[in-house]
Amino acid sequence: MSEAGVPGGTPCHRCGGGGFYYDPQIEVGRHGELKICTCVEAQCRCGGRPPFYFWDDQARNQRCPCWPARRGLVELKRLFREADVPERYRWKFLGDFHATTPEGSLVRIAQDARLYVSTLTDTDREPERGFLLHGRPGTGKTLLGCIMLNELILNRHRPGRFLNLSKYLQQLRDTYSEESEHYGQTWRIIESLGKVPYLVIDDFGVQRGTEWAKEVLYDLVDTRYAEKRFTVITTNQPLGELQQLSQGRIYSRLLEMCRLVEMEGEDFRQHLQPKV
């Protein structure tokens, strides 16, 4: 199969070369679904039936041209399952933004968000510098972080994770209990998250109360800093408070790793397209 499943290698406008895409149309459930592209279906000779082989004109059993895309779709669905994005944000992409209010005025945050996400997906280069999204609650920090993560997984077909810090810290605490299935795996968990290509760390800074929690946060940030991994941080905490974590060691790394983006103004979630 040629690039994007289109004869002559002309990129398909719908799938962009992957052979599958996200269809936001809701038929069953609360969200759309990942689908095989029509450019692949046009070349399919197996009818989409596993194991995706067909008999050619010489009665030879051949692998169908659709096989790479169907295999890739299975892998992409696995990546989305393992990303652990909250259900509310699991299938949020750029198309979920309203660029204008019902009155017709531009939504500045939505305009900025489109620009931020386009810098991640409109190039073949892997993003290294992430974003530190800070501001008061209700301005869409978690939403924007998840959209960035979802777009990267969809377009680059590489692993990503959403990390709720409260759950993460509890998981690490369990590694000290002999009764836990994760006993003794503290560094394995930290290194695994440190190396995943894309990571959203949500609600950063609220777990700053103990020295142990501060060191855990530092270890995670330092590992990603060393590996030059793309990281999105969301926080409601004032930047001045973040600067105090671990004697400034965490904040100095975040400044190099991330672009600071102040999320302010009206509630970002008001400008999601309704799902009806």
Per DSSP, 25 falls in state -
Question: What 3 state SS string does 33-88 have?
Answer: EEEECHHHHCCCCCCCCCCCEEECCCCCEEECCCHHHHHHHHHHHHHHHHCCCCHH
The structure's pTM equals 0.85
Residue 118 has φ and ψ, to the nearest 5°, of: -65, -30
Per DSSP, 182 falls in state T
pLDDT in tens, the chain (276 residues): 334 444 445 678 888 888 989 998 877 677 889 999 999 999 999 999 999 999 999 999 999 999 999 999 999 999 999 999 999 899 998 877 666 666 666 667 777 778 888 888 888 889 889 999 998 887 788 988 999 999 999 989 999 999 988 888 888 888 888 888 878 888 888 888 989 999 999 988 765 567 888 888 888 999 999 999 999 999 988 888 888 877 888 899 999 999 999 887 655 555 555 444
Domains and CATH numbers, the chain: 3-82 (no CATH), 90-271 (3.40.50.300)
Beta strands 53-55 and 230-235 are unpaired
Sign of the C-alpha dihedral computed for residues 154, 158, 159 and 161 taken in this order: negative
Is the Cβ–Cβ distance between 109 and 166 less than 8 Å? no
Is the Cβ–Cβ distance between 95 and 121 less than 8 Å? no
DSSP class per residue in 89-113: GTT--GGGB-SB-TTS-B-HHHHHH
